[in-house]
A and B are shown apart, each in its own frame.
Chain A
């Protein structure tokens, strides 16, 4: 059997293991995001949104759909990789992979794919819920999918790095709580940055999540505060950078070998 066939088997094994993991505990992994997002739709969309009026020319509810979906994707992808990889470190079954001939990049790809799978599942669930509240039609399925995929990969990689450095279960919730959530909220989920004074507009531009949300909004609605090309370029730079960091850490055995 060729080397590549073996790698494919290994990758599939890790992916299936990851999918089974989050499916078994779907009440913890999939359901919460669906409920939270539904609440956002009810409260911000229905109750408050009517008073806010249109944003960027769209009804407020429609405007926030892309951000809410992407927020769920980001949270879930990140959470999946960080908690799964950290558990495998904590309970030592990461060793099953370390003694095997699986190359580091295959292990990384397997975990990233697992995270993306959960992001996809939750993303689809949340979009379905959104369809119940609004009557948006997807502007460009291709762009929507590509932005989803790139965003999910990026945050899966970030979750992986978090897991490598984590030494306790507290360490895996610090980044989501203190960095990810604020960046997402300030990334224009609920508003167009055109509303901000010029100074805060430029500050917002330093937030990578802003680019993803706007690109995703373009995919779903056809409107964006940011040129699409810039958004893609920035996301790609992050993906390449984080991948190199992950591979470097794995090669050195940081956090997983003594």
Chain B
């Protein structure tokens, strides 16, 4: 019997979910006025129920991709489907499924929190009474109910971001897209936001998130895509990607000075100055091992820090790797 395509599933019937992806982007290109090509044929599929990280260095095209999916940016070519609805053919259905927390503030600074959320509900066609109920729920979930009469401009950065999350949830979207939701948010609020997003995902909302903190993606996301200069370069599970982080570099502050670099198996040292060492640890060695070896050599460490954001490291490795491959191809 021929299989007809299943109707888009709802939260309740997760069993059918694997058939219609939450997001399917094909051959997406974007050339900005002035000729800059920000997306060069992006293909990307995100399954329903996933918690998905979209990672990439500044200017990679993350916000452009999200902008196209959420109807804020016109695409140059390609197709976008959200839960099986085509963006060109049925934009209203696509928009109904989507919630967006944008990278930049985009609310009226002079309106109180509650009104921002209620207006958004109104734009989605949710009648006033129902909108009130939902606004209360989503503001309470994000600990903002007590601030509902505060004007947006009087909120701290973290609360502004949280209001944007509450606003994005008021129409109960099946796919929530967050563009750097925790930029400039302190660690405590960040953790409570993580907890909130995890619960939302468990309850069935598909989530796509961009971030510059690998810790964030690592702790939240199951799948990841890396985008660089407008192209998807990786599309893997989180665990697999972490395994690619071949080395990590630390900077050690020493007690006392050392004259020459220690020679220890598996660790590559470099002098920064007399009291500071840089050490590169490969994946198969541990920090414990490093300290044991240093102690044996009578070197005492006062403090250590990560030399680089690990995500930046990954991007560098990636670019290096491809350049190396390209050199080999050229030979």
Residues on the A chain within 8 Å of B72, using CB: 95, 98-99, 257
- A96–B125 touching, CB < 8 Å: no
B321 within 8 A of A: no
Residues on the A chain within 8 Å of B98, using CB: 99
A206 within 8 A of B: no
B106 within 8 A of A: yes
**Given the contacts A98-B71, A99-B95, A13 and B123 also touching, CB distance less than 8 Å:** yes
Interface mask (B2-43 → A, CB under 8 Å = 1, otherwise 0): 000000000000000000000000000000110000000000
Chain A interface size, under 10 / 10 to 19 / 20 to 34 / 35 or more: 20 to 34
**Given the contacts A95-B72, A101-B96, A13 and B122 also touching, CB distance less than 8 Å:** yes
Residues on the A chain within 8 Å of B32, using CB: 258
**Given the contacts A10-B125, A91-B108, A99-B98, A17 and B119 also touching, CB distance less than 8 Å:** yes
Residues on the B chain within 8 Å of A99, using CB: 70-72, 95, 98, 100
Tell me the residues in window 71-99 of chain A with beta carbons closer than 8 Å to chain B beta carbons: 88, 91-93, 95-99
Which residue of chain B is the closest to A88 with respect to CB atoms? B108
- B73–A258 touching, CB < 8 Å: yes
Residues on the A chain within 8 Å of B247, using CB: none
Q: How far is the CB of A226 from chain B (nearest CB, A)?
A: 41
B269 within 8 A of A: no
The complex places the Cα of A7 from the Cα of B33 at a distance, in Å, of: 33
Residues on the A chain within 8 Å of B104, using CB: 92
How many B residues touch A, CB cutoff 8 Å? 34
A1 within 8 A of B: yes
- A12–B122 touching, CB < 8 Å: yes
The complex places the Cα of A12 from the Cα of B118 at a distance, in Å, of: 12
The complex places the Cα of A92 from the Cα of B67 at a distance, in Å, of: 13
Interface mask (A97-111 → B, CB under 8 Å = 1, otherwise 0): 111111100000000
Tell me the residues in window 129-185 of chain A with beta carbons closer than 8 Å to chain B beta carbons: none
The complex places the Cα of A258 from the Cα of B96 at a distance, in Å, of: 22
- B74–A257 touching, CB < 8 Å: yes
The complex places the Cα of A138 from the Cα of B205 at a distance, in Å, of: 60
Of B95, B105, B116, B127, the contact of A101 (CB 8 Å cutoff): B95
- B95–A100 touching, CB < 8 Å: yes
Q: How far is the CB of B203 from chain A (nearest CB, A)?
A: 22
B250 within 8 A of A: no
**Which one of A12, A91, A92, A100 has the highest number of Cβ atoms from chain B below 10 Å of its Cβ?**
A100
Interface mask (A1-42 → B, CB under 8 Å = 1, otherwise 0): 100011101101110010000000000000000000000000
A227 within 8 A of B: no
The complex places the Cα of A88 from the Cα of B73 at a distance, in Å, of: 16
List 7 A-B residue pairs with CB atoms under 8 Å apart, sorted by A's residue number. A7-B125, A10-B123, A13-B119, A100-B171, A101-B96, A101-B125, A257-B71
